[in-house]
Structures are given as C-alpha cells and as structure tokens.
Amino acid sequence: MNPVAAFPNVYFLGIGGIGMSALARWFQANGHRVSGYDKTATPLTEALAAEGIQVHYDDAVESIPAEVRQHRAQTLVILTPAIPQDHREWAWLREQGYDIRKRSQVLGLLTAGRYTIAVAGTHGKTTTSSMVAHLLHHAGVPCAAFLGGISVNLGSNVLLPPTNNEQGTTDNLPVVVEADEYDRSFLTLYPDIAIVTSTDADHLDIYGNKEALVESFRQFVAQIKPGGTLILNHTADQSIAESVAAGVRVIRYGLSPEQGPELYADQITAQGHQFRFDLHGPLGNVQNLALAVPGYHNVENMLAACLVAQLQHVGEEPLKKAVAAYRGVKRRFEFIVTKGDKVYVDDYAHHPREIDAFLRSLRALYPGKRLRVIFQPHLFTRTRDFAEGFAQSLSLADEVVMLDIYPARELPLEGVTSELILSQITAPRKSLQTKAEVLAAAESDDTFDVLATVGAGDIDQLVPRLRNILDIRWNGAEA
C-alpha cells in the first residue's frame, strides 16, 4: 500500500522550493488536497497556485487552510530545511502533534519498493537526473521523476508516470530521483542504480570537512540494492566504490580513455551551440551523438545518463534521437538572447568547479570573444570556504561583476563579503555592483561579446530584465 495514502491533506512548509514543489505537484496529481506556505511569491509559487494549489506567504497559524487545522490525523506536513527554527506555523504544528516529515523522508517513502534511479553529487545532479528522465521518457520507457530543476522538455520539475500501462500499475515503474547530499538527505534512498557525479567539498557548514562528506557518499552507495549498479565519475573520490554491497557493479565514466574509465567519449567537437561526440561503454558504443546543450561537463553528464538508458534496454537509434531532442534545464547553460556572435547565457553554477566548467565551455564555444560574468555568491559559509577557488575560476573571464552574497538560510559572518572573492580575482576588469548598476551598465556599456549571469540565489530576477534590454539593443525587439 502507498505509505502516504492515509493522508488526504498534505501541507508544505516551504512549498516554493524546487524539490518541494515537485512533491507538491506529485501529491496534487495523485488526488491529495495540497496547500503550503512560502516566504515570498515567485514564478514557481504562482505556477503552483495556477495549478490549483493554495499558497500563502504570511507566517500565521490562521493562514493555514481550515482542513489542515481541523484534521490533524489526516494531514501530512512536509518541511524544508530552509524553514527557520522560530517559524510560528512550524511551532504550532509541532505542538499540535502533526506528522511532520522532511522532504527527503517523503522521497524515501515514495520510492520504497520502487525501482529507483538516484543521481547524487555535489554538482551535476540536476542536469544528469533530468537527462536520465528525458532519455527514458523520450524512448518510451514509462517512468516517474522528481527533479531539482525545471526540465525544458517536460516543462516541469516532476514527471508523472502514465496512468495506464501494460503492467496495469505504476508501482513497479522506474522512478528517477535527484539525491541531495545536503543534510545527508540522500540516505533515505535505496537505489537500484546510483550515479555519483562528484564528491567535491561543499556544505561544510553541515559536514565540517570533506572527509565527512565523502563518508556520507560511502553510506549512500552502500545502500544500492544487491545486483544494482554504481555509475561513478572518475573525478569523484574512488574510495566510495569500496563501500558497495557484494554483487553491485561499478562502472566509471569520464571524458576520455586516458582518464581510465570504462565509459568515455571521444571525437568531441563544438559546432555552434551543439557538442558532438561518440560514446564508448561496456554496454555498447554509439557514434555521432548530438547534444544541443553545450559544455564538456554536459557531455560527461550525458554519458552517465546514456548508460542508464542502455541498462533500461533503450536501443542505439532511440537513444540517439533522445539525446538530440534534449533541451536542458532552466538556468543550466540556458541561452537567453543571441545575435550573431553576441550572446547572453544564464547558469545556476554556485561552486568553483561548476563555474570553471561553465566558463571553459563558453570559451570553447566563443574563442577570443570578450566575456563578462555577473556572479552572485550563494551562502556566507560557501564564500568563506571556497573564496580562493571562486576567484580562480572567475578569473577565466575578461570582466567580473560581483553582487553581494545571497544569504539563503544563513546569518552574516563577520569579515565574509563578496570582496573576499573580488580581491583575489585576476581578470582585467572587476567590480562590485548592485542589481540596479548591472542593469544600467547593460543599457550603456557594450564592451563585451558574451554575457553570463551565474549563481544560485535571486540573481535570476535579473534575467528577464537583462533579456529585455539586450533584445532591444541587439535585435531591435520590443520589450
């Protein structure tokens, strides 16, 4: 029996989060009455409201829908870690004895007993999980998916399983899950297939040091079911493979055979916005794959996704067509405006290695072009821990514009500001600006060919306004 079927009401604290909203959509589609709180209205919360989900933005017990307040035993409350300890609604729900679960715990319940494909890693997991879901869906393999971003192909962060299929039930269909290492959330999952894209140091506010983070990955891969498969990036800590259970197959992947993986790409070429490559792997080779989402890191991500598709018996031709049809994830190497050799790209990168991969790919696509990067650091702790790495990766640009740190769940740390990164950047031009100054510069300063907005905070609020400005300047479009 579905373990959450006993709860006709589902109430979300932090419903606007990308992972939380995916769960909200799943519950709504499965006949539950869904409602929730979030701090501010966003396009995502507005989309949920348009889909019939009740959302409010004031932290007040009286704003909780009546059916939730009056039917405690019939209500499941789902909580995001971003909710502060002094939140009034959360305190009241605790006092009243509601069943309150973390998002990760609910994902564990929903995937229990299902064939689970989990994608983990300190970066690359959103793109890779969206690739897996897309390849299977496009090739006609019935499946479900919970994603950490809005898939352009699906137009959503959740893929609902078909209501009718040959088996007559959705319980045994594969489910693709983005497995989040933050707060050790992924330890609620017991996958049949696990991809680990990276184990770089991150979330040190939670883990304290990299070894503790790597240990959590060891625990995660130890939960792969017997007879399952671990698909491990060659740059990840290889010691985690020693923790898999007996009978779990380990397949390593990377960009070239020189790196020693069993799964690799060669003949990689950049043609316009497209990357072409050949796949060589233990389940067969596939030549001349065309990936419309650029970036060497995305070629690597697609290698892992293709192997999952092969494990699910997707043939060569359907696989090639599915790869060619993939259009990416919102805010992951997303082309916003193009005009000849001038381009504006937006990306969610918020770790030094992600930024390095993104900017190197931009350089490969636009060699010799003047590159301006607008970057918003995400979290005071991450800025403190990786300031030197951020500066090194951002120095690949010709000009770096820094915004103030986006705090998210954190309080300020003494001495930790964007200047900590800016002072170490070696790019020819660098500055600290407000969002208003960024917009003013876009209207008057044309000393760049390629513009990139980068970061995981609220920098995305700049994107539509920059799009309008550059549309008018470059294309003569109406705003």
CA–CA distance from 138 to each of 198, 273, 278, 304, 462 (Å)? 26, 21, 20, 17, 33
pTM: 0.83
Same domain, 181 and 55: no
The H-or-E segment that residue 108 falls in is: helix 103-111
3 assigned to some structural domain? no
Q: For residue 423, what pLDDT is reported? A: 97
Assigned token pair, 188: 């609620």
Same domain, 276 and 170: yes
Binding residues for ATP: 121-127
At residue 236, does pLDDT exceed 50?
A: yes
Euclidean distance between CA atoms 157 and 44, whole angstroms: 10
Given 80, 101, 122, which residue is the final one in a domain?
Answer: 101
Given 46, 79, 101, which residue is the final one in a domain?
Answer: 101
Q: Per-residue DSSP letters for 334-392?
A: EEEEEETTEEEEEE---SHHHHHHHHHHHHHHSTT--EEEEE--B-HHHHHHHHHHHHH
DSSP structure class, residue 283: T
Binding residues: 121-127
What's 405-462 look like in SS3? CECCCCCCCCCCCCHHHHCCCCCCEEEECCHHHHHHHHHHCCCCCEEEEECCCCHHHH
423 assigned to some structural domain? yes
At residue 162, does pLDDT exceed 80?
A: no
2 assigned to some structural domain? no
1 assigned to some structural domain? no
pLDDT band at 173 (very low <50, low <70, confident <90, very high): confident
pLDDT band at 450 (very low <50, low <70, confident <90, very high): very high
pLDDT band at 183 (very low <50, low <70, confident <90, very high): confident
Same domain, 201 and 256: yes
Residue 371 · residue 342 · CB < 8 Å: no
What's the whole-number mean pLDDT along residues 180-199? 90
pLDDT in tens, 21-75: 999 999 999 999 999 999 888 888 999 999 999 999 999 999 999 999 999 999 9
CA-angle at 67, arms to 66 and 71, nearest 5°? 115
Q: For residue 294, what pLDDT is reported? A: 85
At residue 111, does pLDDT exceed 70?
A: yes
379 assigned to some structural domain? yes
What's the whole-number mean pLDDT along residues 277-295? 94
Same domain, 339 and 298: no
pLDDT band at 203 (very low <50, low <70, confident <90, very high): low
First to last CA, the chain: 52
At residue 169, does pLDDT exceed 80?
A: no
Q: For residue 478, what pLDDT is reported? A: 46
368 assigned to some structural domain? yes
pLDDT in tens, 408-429: 878 899 999 999 999 999 999 9
Q: For residue 43, what pLDDT is reported? A: 84
Closest CA to 387 of 361, 354, 423, 342: 423
Given 325, 345, 377, which residue is the final one in a domain?
Answer: 325
Q: For residue 475, what pLDDT is reported? A: 77
Same domain, 260 and 164: yes
Same domain, 263 and 396: no
- For the CA atoms of 412, 414, 418, 421, the dihedral, rounded to the nearest 10 degrees, stands at -130
One-letter amino acid for residue 386 of the chain: F
Same domain, 137 and 90: no
Sheet containing 144-151, strands listed edge to edge, beginning at the edge strand earlier in sequence: 156-159, 144-151, 175-179, 116-120, 193-196, 229-233, 249-254, 263-271, 274-280, 286-291
Same domain, 82 and 143: no
Residue 283 · residue 377 · CB < 8 Å: no
Which residues are 11's β-sheet partners?
35, 77
At residue 454, does pLDDT exceed 80?
A: yes
Closest CA to 233 of 126, 377, 330, 121: 121
Other CB atoms within 10 Å distance of the CB of residue 425: 21
CATH number of domain containing 413:
3.90.190.20
Which segments of 59-168 are extended strands (E)?
A: 75-79, 99-102, 116-120, 144-151, 156-159
130 assigned to some structural domain? yes
Q: For residue 165, what pLDDT is reported? A: 45
Q: Which residues, other chains included, contact 474 with Cβ-Cβ below 8 Å and sequence gap of 6+? A: 337, 339, 342
Gyration radius from the chain CA atoms: 22
Euclidean distance between CA atoms 396 and 96, whole angstroms: 54
107 assigned to some structural domain? no
Assigned token pair, 401: 């514009």
At residue 144, does pLDDT exceed 70?
A: yes
- For the CA atoms of 359, 362, 366, 372, the dihedral, rounded to the nearest 10 degrees, stands at -50
Assigned token pair, 77: 């409350």
Euclidean distance between CA atoms 416 and 384, whole angstroms: 6
CA-angle at 401, arms to 396 and 407, nearest 5°? 110
Residue 174 · residue 193 · CB < 8 Å: no
pLDDT band at 161 (very low <50, low <70, confident <90, very high): confident
**Mean predicted lDDT score pLDDT of the chain:** 91
What percent of the chain has pLDDT above 70?
95
Count up the domains in the chain and report the number. 3
Same domain, 77 and 140: no
Assigned token pair, 348: 């969610």
pLDDT band at 479 (very low <50, low <70, confident <90, very high): very low
Question: Which structural domain, as residue segments, surrounds residue 211?
Answer: 113-325
At residue 168, does pLDDT exceed 50?
A: no
Euclidean distance between CA atoms 439 and 340, whole angstroms: 22
CA–CA distance from 165 to each of 24, 94, 143, 401 (Å)? 24, 41, 10, 52
Same domain, 343 and 306: no
**Three-state SS for 264?**
strand
CATH number of domain containing 203:
3.40.1190.10
Same domain, 307 and 341: no
Assigned token pair, 453: 């907005």
How would you classify the pairing of strands 193-196 and 175-179?
unpaired
Higher pLDDT, 446 or 360: 360
Same domain, 84 and 190: no
pLDDT band at 167 (very low <50, low <70, confident <90, very high): very low
At residue 258, does pLDDT exceed 90?
A: no
- Cβ density class 187-197: b for 16+ within 10 Å, e for less: bbbbbbbbbbb
At residue 1, does pLDDT exceed 60?
A: no
What percent of the chain has pLDDT above 90?
71
